[in-house]
Structure 1
């Protein structure tokens, strides 16, 4: 291990070496060299890599940290073998297909509140991906194995990135609030999709599904023609129109939410393959309770199992739409790491429009992982022993999800 004193001396040596090399290069090239103020961040980084001292540090980094191909990296390389655009589309297919096919195995009467442990696992994955991958990438960039990394501090750049994070967060607040207004204050679309048992039960009673103590729910007896024991028949379910409308509003919210998932995948793959792969894992684990919860809500809204599955596949189109929008923004809006991007960026910084998608994604993930889910995990019942066991399982699942993200980032 390198001591703090040695690290300080090494940093000072790098600074002096870069400064000396820059002065020497400017003296040799004279006035024919492009003014520093006209260089892009990418061009400055390329010129820094030509410094002999920096090249020596690069060699030392490669020697001290030899490249190894882990099992995780091999799996990611197999799943995502193409360009950022192709990988983003493949990732969208991965997170949209399997969770929807799993619905065929779900019983129609599944209680979404039973998914709390799975939801907690998804929360850990989302927050782990945001804190361990997205935010470091947004503000510091992705580390490279064979090169030392220089971070250029620009006035107002970090402020704009923070604004993009807040815009992503507020966008989901506005969407959730709008859906609560549309449903008459009955509760908007819960992005954790772990709808409470009481909410589903109330919907069922309103729609006539619950046969509790209602007189209308008594079994009707048909008189038999031959005088035999009357046959017992079940009354037809009558779904309240407001409950049906809630199901359709849920589909609209699900479609919108899937668009943001597609934006997240496209922006992360253009940032780096590692960020893209880990974001895919986080979104995938979130999609499973997401889809199962929506499936249960649609069943309670009067959908048949086949119709509910078909509706979920239709909403998956939103993820592909969001991915295509993200790819278009990255390809035509550019980002600060692209060699072909030149000229001033947003508000005098080096940021391009493509650089704003990743912080926007981080803001949406923060909302989904906290505001939309934590209140559900805080719900408790009267049985203290049972609630304590469930809470321990939830925390274990949450730490497991976050630990997976940390292990991927660490290695």
Structure 2
């Protein structure tokens, strides 16, 4: 199976995460919160693990220029900082911030729903490019990146679905538009594949960019959420999930040939 096939099959699988919201709504609230924190821990571990174990070493080796590599990585950090600052997407919604957004959804439904869909569309566009970048580096890096993206998409898609429902969308309509926004990932992947045909190192530079983005998301969005919880047992479970995420990325290195 070729690289392009791997990319588009993987994106198709990740796009199905947009249906996670309907499953979450069928769960009891307390159970959903517990599951979300475990998923956030797993996502944080896989994002950092993929960045440090797979993306950074592979991209640095292929680029060969430490300064160029560093600039590409920093670009990933800066771009995702700007996107989060101005598009207001967040990978985990809890506490006062979530309550504020839900209240805004109830009072300004026509204003919030398009913003949620715009942010999610751009987010998924970048996810598609990120997955393509991983496979352009190597199949193992590609699969590791798919796992990382998949896990951090689950809480994101649940939050987006909830915001759309609270902003006035029916559950069916929210599910449909959430899935529609997920399809922009194919555009991101297609664009990067087009660039790769004329720029041989685009995969390596995109990999460095992705590493910066993953570290930023884990460090500023996901790990702070884990620090908000109280209780020794709950903290131990979240720490365990975080370590399992890293271990999963490490395990994938043994599959490299």
Q: Higher helix fraction: Structure 1 or Structure 2?
A: 2
In 2, Cα distance between equivalents of 1:101 and 1:199? 23
1:189 aligns with one of 85, 89, 105? 89
Match of 1:257 in 2: 123
Q: Report whether the alignment pairs 1:135 with 2:56.
A: yes
Structure with the bigger RCO (C-alpha within 8 Å, sep 6+) is: 2
In structure 2, distance between residues paired with 1:409 and 1:133? 8
Q: Distance in 2 between matches of 1:204 and 1:89?
A: 34
2:22 to 83, 101, 104: 104
Is 1:159 matched up with 2:52? no
User: Aligned runs of 1:7-406 on 2, under 5 Å?
Assistant: 82-97=1-16, 99-107=17-25, 113-114=33-34, 115-141=36-62, 157-179=65-87, 188-190=88-90, 192=91, 194-204=92-102, 239-241=106-108, 243-335=109-201, 353-380=202-229, 387-406=231-250
State how far apart, in whole Å, the 1-side matches of 2:70 and 2:101 are. 40
TM-score by length of 2: 0.89
Structure 1 residue 410: Cα displacement: 3.2
Structure 2 gap ranges (5+): none
Displacement, 1:308? 1.1
Q: Using a 3 Å threshold, how does the CA distance of structure 1 residues 206 and 109 change in structure 2: closer, same or farther?
A: farther
Q: 1:96 to 1:281 in 2, by over 3 A?
A: same
- For residues 368 and 130 of structure 1, the distance between their equivalents in structure 2, rounded to whole angstroms, comes to 11
Change (3 A) 1:354 1:401: closer
* Higher CA-based Rg: 1
TM-fit CA distance, 1:394: 0.8
1:199, distance to aligned residue in structure 2 (A): 3.4
Gaps of 5+ in 1: 1-81, 142-151, 180-187, 208-238, 336-352
- How big is the shift at 1:113? 4.7
Deviation at 1:255, TM superposition (A): 0.9
Say whether the 8 Å CA contact 1:113–1:197 is kept in structure 2. no
Q: Is contact 2:60–2:208 with CA below 8 Å preserved after alignment? A: no
Change (3 A) 1:283 1:203: closer
Structure-2 separation of matches of 1:107 and 1:113: 11
Three-state SS of the structure 2 residue aligned to 1:371 is: helix
Instruction: Provide the rounded CA distance (Å) in 2 between the counterparts of 1:405 and 1:177.
Output: 29
- What residue is the counterpart of 1:338 in the other structure? none
Q: Contact (CA 8 Å) 2:45, 2:241: kept in 1 or not?
A: yes
Cα distance in 1 for partners of 2:129, 2:164 equals 26
Q: CA RMSD in A?
A: 2.2
Offset, 1:200: 3.6
SS at match of 2:198: helix
Taking structure 1 as the reference length, the TM-score comes to 0.57
Change (3 A) 1:360 1:204: closer
Q: Secondary structure at 2:220's aligned position in 1?
A: coil
